[in-house]
Amino acid sequence: MDEDAGSMTRIFKAGAGAVVTKSIGLKPREGYPNPTIIELECGILNAMGLPNPGIDNFKDEIAELKKSKIPVIGSIFGSKSDEFSKLAKNMEEYGADAIELNMSCPHAKGYGLEIGSDPKLVKEITSTVKKTVKIPVFVKISPNLINISEIAKAAEKGKADSIVAINTIKAMKIDLELKTPVLANKVGGYSGDAIKPIGVRCVYEIADNVNIPIIGVGGIHTGKDAIEYFMAGATAVQIGSALYYRGAKVFKKICNEIENWMKYHNVKNISEIIGAAHK
């Protein structure tokens, strides 16, 4: 996940099936002051504050990707339905192949989690965007909820084409010597290996409650990690923190490990193991 056409092109050429942009808003946004990201024992803690160039300045990035025929999922964020609708329409006009509605950022005030925790609002925004664009619409939801299945069902009622689960976990790190939170925003989102069991659990629960595809996200570093998500009910996965640790080569590595596992277990098609843990 990135917002620069050059880096997204390198990721696609390294073996990714599609690229997801960083979340884009209506206007340029600087995000929070440093420090915004720190590496912890089992993952990464960040509070970037949704920095982005704004939708009007993002057209050229999409156009550059489309020259190479790279499938692009345009991630967007807003504070209300009409903002999401306008952003989605612009993304579609620029050439995005699908829209991801970021309603789950745990550290951006007025956006993300504050919107994504309200089933009625999730349904309303999803429905409005679906009426605005013809390309698929994915809804990215948060694990920082007690009603994650209810939110997923609200997105489905809004005619979402897929659920993306999960976003980062709300977390904090305190400096013992300074006796203060390390991040400038104090609270951030935790990603990486440590959140995979949470992501798998969320996908499993969502799969029991919706009939639309689920894209699994969170702590996927190996082929076996991806397969665990498939068995929980995901039909595809996204890779994020593994890029930080292993670079773009991680895509081919994960694909090769999935293929080797399938051969060893005599699995002919991924569809054979999707949702297997529910049977």
Q: Which sequence positions are flagged as catalytic?
A: 105
d(CA 117, CA 80): 13
Phi, psi (deg, nearest 5) at residue 175: -80, 120
Which residues are CB-neighbours of 16 under 8 A, at least 6 positions away?
239, 251
CB distance 213 to 61 below 8 Å: no
DSSP 3-state assignment of 264?
Answer: helix
Buried b (16+ CB within 10 A) or exposed e, 76-105: bbbbebebbbbbbebbbebbbbbbbbbbbb
CB distance 201 to 229 below 8 Å: no
